[in-house]
Amino acid sequence: MNQRSRAEATAPAQQTTHDPSESQKERTEHAAHSQRAAHRSHSGQAKPPAKPAQAAAQPVQAAVTGRLPLVYVVRQLVVDHWLSKSDADRVLAIGDRERYGHPIAVLAEMNFRTPDAHRRLLDLETLTQWLAEKAGLPYQHIDPLRVDFTRVVDVMSSAYATGYSILPIAVTPAEVVVATCEPFLEEWVREIEQISKKTVKRVVANPVDIARYTTEFYKLAQQVKGASKTGAANPLSNFEQLVELGSKVEANDAHVIHIVDWILQYAFDQRASDIHMEPKRDQGVVRFRIDGVLHQVYQVPPGVMHAMTSRIKLLGRMDVVERRRPQDGRIKTRAGGAGGREVEIRLSTLPTAFGEKLVMRIFDPEVVVRSYAELGFSDGEAKIWSELIRRPSGIVLVTGPTGSGKTTTLYSTLKQLATDEVNVSTVEDPIEMVDGTLNQMQVQPGIELGFADGLRALMRQDPDVIMVGEVRDRETAEMAVQAALTGHLVFSTLHTNDAASSVARLVELGVPRYLVNATLIGVLAQRLVRTLCPSCKAEQSGPDETMWRDLVAPWRSPPPHTVYAPAGCLECRRTGYLGRTGLIELLVMSDAIRVLIGRGCELQELREQAAREGLRSLRVSGAEKVVLGVTTIDEVLRAAPPFAD
């Protein structure tokens, strides 16, 4: 940097005395110069960030400038009663640790606790919050899902960001939000404001995240830009041609491969159950479903989204060129790279107005197969269910709307039954999770292999336990009944509101009442509710009598004195919820119930008889989980229907 511009940089006020036109010219020159400097700084010559201040000469209360020295941080923590004198002495005795990393990161690794009664752990986030307060700046945890990395990287070069330990995380028309872990290093602010012509808003974020995401964002942005360029280099006007060429060239582009891999790993890390890739008019949108709720993750240029979709279709062995018909596919991959657990991804595409939409459903075997407790069964229910599924023959139904966890329950159940002595066969549409211990058949309507046909073929294969994906029609229902009558245990699903309604549904499908009575042995109705994040859930006083009575009606139980409400922390992505569990309503057929069914009773009569015999409604199952502090009343009311309709 030459003398003139350095002088300008340190004495901006002088500019106001200049002739306006000249001043404008100078500013422009300066901005251009700074931009060059910003991009040149990786050579290490342009304006190195300040050296750490001399620790020994630093009085405790004095304001710091430049990079944070470890000694300053330690002493300030002692002043603020966050660190005991003896712990501080231990750190300082080890000597000058600056070269091993950011002081905050160094201290966080030592797992100190506050000397007061709270014994609060001084972890990375806690120390970062402290630092933010010290610097009088807002604290922010960087959520990579909320950073539009293709935009923020245009604010400054990667070398410039690294040089000052900063990372732009948001850009608006008027403002650039820049995360820093060196809040007393401020010399870059003016430079960036001049280059970007926006106000810089500084926030303090933890040094480990800043370093990690600086590398990731700049690399990913480069990949996206590289991929966009490849697409733009083919100036074909014929759209179809472009698509064909694009699908061949771009899908294997190294940039695209990297972006797709990164998105998949990211989805696994975030416990996403689905990834949606949606083409819009000007942008491709990537969204993750986490605990049942969609979160927008990224926007990428349409060409890049197209290449990503092609890449994924290629991995799923789908017809890459075919874009006008819906297709299905499947990918097996490993979470966390080679050596990680195997994850299955089911793909489906749909032609939409702006291109092909792709949805990936993630089936993580660790998530799919669960223990009964994790599925939401109480000990008593688990015992009844275990007994039911070990009967030699009969029909067991699992019921609930789409997304109520039926598949998880069925796979978890079948996995327990499939042993060396027991043949478990399935007819599914589609096969949601391929499992080595099961014999699974995929329904293929194209060649007239429906549920009923599949089931008929299966019966000749000498199975012990059969799972039929869904009973949708009379033919399938009749086949299931036949299988049960000939000594097989048959599992299937129905879409009904509660357990008792399943009986009515079978009758509607054309199964005579006496055959329902002869074959049906039990029905499990279920729903999923989000579970409260154990790290941040907040105690509250219990609900009022009336509200509670409505929830558990017609059962009676006193309302709990305390319940928990969602708060929000880093672990749960500030939603207050982490994971899901099931609400369970288990109907076991009895003689009394069979008499009622034979008579063609009203649904409510059936429900009440079942309740007398021990059935608890979905809402009661939920209320129990509220009492245990697992979920909230709102979640239960949202998911479960009232007992009487």
> Which residues form the interface with Zn ion (CB under 5 A)?
533, 535-536, 569, 571-572
User: Residue 582 is which amino acid?
Assistant: G
Integer Cα distance of 244 and 250 in angstroms? 10
* SS3 category, 289: strand
CB of 582 to Zn ion, least distance (A): 21
Cα angle, residue 380 at apex, residues 379 and 385 outer, rounded to 5°: 100
In the chain, count H helices and then E strands. Answer: 26, 18
By DSSP bridging, strand 293-300 and strand 284-290 are antiparallel
CB of 257 to Zn ion, least distance (A): 34
- A 10 A CB-CB count for 367 gives 17
Cβ proximity to Zn ion: between 533 and 639 the closer is 533
DSSP run (H or E) holding 502: helix 501-508
CB of 291 to Zn ion, least distance (A): 12
Cβ proximity to Zn ion: between 66 and 568 the closer is 568
Cβ proximity to Zn ion: between 164 and 577 the closer is 577
Contact criterion met (CB below 8 Å) for 49 and 164: yes
| Residue whose C-alpha is closest to residue 357's, from 267, 441, 288, 278 | 278
Cβ proximity to Zn ion: between 192 and 536 the closer is 536
CB of 530 to Zn ion, least distance (A): 12
**Which tokens sit at 329?**
């596919």
CB of 573 to Zn ion, least distance (A): 8
Cβ proximity to Zn ion: between 571 and 613 the closer is 571
CB of 581 to Zn ion, least distance (A): 16
- A 10 A CB-CB count for 514 gives 11
Point out the residue whose Cβ comes nearest to Zn ion: 533
Cβ proximity to Zn ion: between 275 and 572 the closer is 572
Integer Cα distance of 613 and 616 in angstroms? 9
CB of 367 to Zn ion, least distance (A): 19
CB of 114 to Zn ion, least distance (A): 21
Place of tokens 């079978």: 506
**Which tokens sit at 237?**
């006007």
CB of 288 to Zn ion, least distance (A): 18
Cβ proximity to Zn ion: between 485 and 569 the closer is 569
Contact criterion met (CB below 8 Å) for 103 and 68: yes
Cβ proximity to Zn ion: between 289 and 537 the closer is 537
| Residue whose C-alpha is closest to residue 44's, from 156, 155, 163 | 163
Sign of CA dihedral 590, 595, 599, 602: negative
User: Residue 621 is which amino acid?
Assistant: S
Partners of 348 in the β-ladder: 328, 359
Cβ proximity to Zn ion: between 535 and 557 the closer is 535
